[in-house]
Structure 1
Amino acid sequence: MKDWKNILISPDTNIQQTLKIIDVHSLQIALVVDSEKKLIGTVTDGDIRRGLLRGVSLNAAVAEVMNSAPVSIPYDMQDKHRILTIMQANKFRHLPVVNEAGYVVGIERLEDLLDAGRYDNWVIVMAGGLGSRLRPLTDDCPKPMLPVGGKPVLETILEHFLEQGFHRFCFSVNYKAEQIQQHFGDGSKWGATIRYLHENKRMGTAGSLSLFPVKTEKPIIVMNGDILTTINFGQFISFHLEQQSEATLAVRTYDIQVPYGVVKVNKDKLIGFEEKPVYTSFINAGVYALNPKVLERIPKNAFYDMNQLFDSMLRTNERVSIFPVREYWIDIGEISNFRQAERDFSNVFEKK
């Protein structure tokens, strides 16, 4: 792998700069080395997102989130099958290559060993909503077909997935479904496979997943059809696999500023003031990774919401992970957000 030198960083590199290195280069990892280029750690997008969930600042040194006990392979290991076995057994996507003294001399990638340029995971886009909050725009047009940047929102969603190597799609449709099917057909125009889940009645935010007819062993991505985002879905799937979760929920930070000075009290005594504090919470970003067996929990032909699915998993102690979204994300479910997406589109999605 000829570009591995571009991903070498020092432990003092801040997390924000590390993210740029991971995003700009195609390796999805950075190798942390000392001044002599000896390997002392690795950091992936998943490591950083887990750090963000713990409250680590983007200005902090990468040493705070790196894996300080990295697995590596010797430079003279030529058995590609053995390397692949090590990766698959440990759910690694990368393995640094080091010499006898522990200095980095290269990197092996799972994608290269598998010769894989595409993801075979199915993507289900929930595109059947009424779009009531967007009326009158949705009186004659289903919400995912509303134009932003000169093309339907759903087309931008499709193209973003395709750019990242995904090619298998199911669109869950109901309201004015014929417009969606006429526009996208079987997906061959985009070099994709598109199938449809037909909701013949209101089935909630998860009910139509019970109609998914495909048998697969790979995690399924589920995404609301009224979201525009630049999430790296390859990293999303990698994160889900690394966590060994049954389901992963993408979340977005949401800040609420109190417009007044807040009084702090202890019982009946004043202990201080806080001027217009900002409280940060995580909100559901409408993007999920689900292992196929999770769909078996969804009742057939019934109204069922996604929060009911996750509540049922929590009651039985299933492993559910949280994936913090740091990329562009907007829910166009309301007029104000729809207009904001129109203003953002050229800067976010159009190629320069």
Structure 2
Amino acid sequence: MRQWEKALIGPEATFRDALISIDSTGAGIALVVDCDRRLLGALSDGDVRRALIKGAGMEDQAIGAANRKPVCADDHQDPATMLATLRAHSLRQLPILDRGRRVVGMVTVEDFLNIPVRTNPVVIMAGGKGERLAELTRDTPKPMLTVGSRPILDTIVGNLAGQGFRNFWLAVNYKAEQIEGHFGDGSALGLNIRYLREDKPLGTCGALSLMPRPDEPFVVTNGDVLAKADYSHLLDSHLQSDALATVVVRDYQMQVPFGVVNANGAQVTRIDEKPTQSYTISAGVYVLSPAVLDLIPKDAFYDMPALIADMIARELPVRLQRAEGYWMDIGHPPDYAQANADFGAVFEG
């Protein structure tokens, strides 16, 4: 929602102030915040009306009539999750809060009816063999494996298209004819889909050397990653920075199945029973500026970690952006089984 800041009022605001705020946004709500924009409560036009009927005056402080525990969204949630929350609670608007409960935005039902078209290209790396999935990919390329009710690629493309993206490049190699036969040129979906055809495996990044240089930053995602990501927000954040590359990361935890012994020489100082270690990992999603294409060797095997390492060595700006929604890299049979188990609740719930 544009101009959502007009919905913010201070704790000393009167009912008159609240009504002016509600009228200025047309969103039907005013958000009471402290001096640091931490949310104290929400006032709908109905809350104000009921308070006035009960005898409150227009110059009385409005915070007493505010809902102190309104339904809110976290700033890392994707649009699909926010829309589901609006539907589940029959709401018209949803404040967005950061971890400190500061208001950083607001979405309304109307926002989902007028999603702007993004001209930025999306490149989906869909050329791998998926050898770790053994028999599952003997006759089917991994991105075309069915998860839930449809192929993995259908879900990835559909999520991006639902956020306004229309221009896609699919990097294909292994059993490419199945992918091209399924999507064609994308016109049946209202999309423009073209192909980066690898005559040999080019890694997770090499196929970008086959791509015509775009005029604006573009999204790159692996074709075997199912994620509930806000790609539009990711792109906007990249554009607002001075970075040439944005790497989407997430936290990944691993539990050691044994007691870990800490010692000082031969003296045992502590035993940590089955500790959990946390790592920051790449989520397989990136935003790259066009200049980055100059660093990618032509028609040669090249992985994304090599590109990022080269950029760092050249002291080119690379930023990270954390994603905390659903994420599943379908690399092994247990991952595939888990994705199928999760699909209904995550992507169709």
Question: Is the structural similarity TM-score above 0.5?
Answer: yes
SS in 2 for 1:137: helix
* Preserved CA contact (<8 Å) 1:133 1:334: yes
**Aligned residue runs from structure 1 range 106-117, under 5 A:** 117=116
Per the alignment, residue 62 of structure 1 pairs with 101
Question: How many residue pairs get matched?
Answer: 277
Q: 1:214 and 1:292 mapped to 2: Cα distance?
A: 6
Per the alignment, residue 182 of structure 2 pairs with 183
**Aligned residue runs from structure 1 range 1-352, under 5 A:** 1-3=25-27, 5=29, 9=33, 19-20=73-74, 23=77, 48=98, 61-62=100-101, 117-216=116-215, 218-350=216-348, 352=349
Q: 1:177 and 1:24 mapped to 2: Cα distance?
A: 30
Identify if the C-alpha distance between structure 1 residues 131 and 21 changes in structure 2 by more than 3 Å, giving closer, same or farther.
Answer: closer
* Identity percentage of aligned residues: 41
Identify if the C-alpha distance between structure 1 residues 336 and 182 changes in structure 2 by more than 3 Å, giving closer, same or farther.
Answer: same
1:143 partner letter: K
Identify if the C-alpha distance between structure 1 residues 175 and 24 changes in structure 2 by more than 3 Å, giving closer, same or farther.
Answer: closer
1:294-316 per-residue CA deviation (whole Å, 9 max, x = no partner) reads 01100101111111100100001
Per the alignment, residue 6 of structure 2 pairs with none
How far apart are 1:220 and its partner, in Å?
0.7
1:343 partner letter: A
RMSD: 3.1
* Preserved CA contact (<8 Å) 2:74 2:96: no
* Preserved CA contact (<8 Å) 1:172 1:197: yes
How far apart are 1:4 and its partner, in Å?
8.0
Q: Structure 1 stretch 325-334 or stretch 266-275: which is displaced more?
A: 266-275
* Preserved CA contact (<8 Å) 1:256 1:280: yes
How far apart are 1:137 and its partner, in Å?
1.4
How far apart are 1:322 and its partner, in Å?
1.2
1:233-256 per-residue CA deviation (whole Å, 9 max, x = no partner) reads 111112222332110111121111
SS in 1 for 2:320: strand
Q: 1:195 and 1:25 mapped to 2: Cα distance?
A: 26
1:172-207 per-residue CA deviation (whole Å, 9 max, x = no partner) reads 001111111111011011111001000001111111
1:133-176 per-residue CA deviation (whole Å, 9 max, x = no partner) reads 11211111111111112211101111100111111100000111
Per the alignment, residue 32 of structure 1 pairs with none
* Preserved CA contact (<8 Å) 1:254 1:283: yes
Identify if the C-alpha distance between structure 1 residues 116 and 13 changes in structure 2 by more than 3 Å, giving closer, same or farther.
Answer: closer
* Preserved CA contact (<8 Å) 1:258 1:278: yes
* Preserved CA contact (<8 Å) 1:252 1:284: yes
Identify if the C-alpha distance between structure 1 residues 3 and 271 changes in structure 2 by more than 3 Å, giving closer, same or farther.
Answer: farther
How far apart are 1:21 and its partner, in Å?
7.2
Q: Name stretches of at least 5 consecutive residues in structure 1 with no aligned partner.
A: 29-42, 49-57, 68-93, 95-106
1:18-40 per-residue CA deviation (whole Å, 9 max, x = no partner) reads 643785989x9xxxxxxxxxxxx
* Preserved CA contact (<8 Å) 1:207 1:303: yes
1:158 partner letter: V
Q: 1:210 and 1:245 mapped to 2: Cα distance?
A: 20
Q: 1:166 and 1:337 mapped to 2: Cα distance?
A: 27
How far apart are 1:119 and its partner, in Å?
1.1
* Preserved CA contact (<8 Å) 1:119 1:167: yes
* Preserved CA contact (<8 Å) 1:22 1:44: no
* Preserved CA contact (<8 Å) 2:120 2:219: yes
Q: 1:290 and 1:278 mapped to 2: Cα distance?
A: 33
Q: 1:196 and 1:313 mapped to 2: Cα distance?
A: 26
Give me the TM-score of the superposition, normalised by structure 2: 0.71
Give me the TM-score of the superposition, normalised by structure 1: 0.70
Q: Name stretches of at least 5 consecutive residues in structure 2 with no aligned partner.
A: 1-24, 41-70, 83-94
2:220 partner letter: V
1:23-82 per-residue CA deviation (whole Å, 9 max, x = no partner) reads 5989x9xxxxxxxxxxxxxx988xx5xxxxxxxxx5xx336xx89xxxxxxxxxxxxxxx
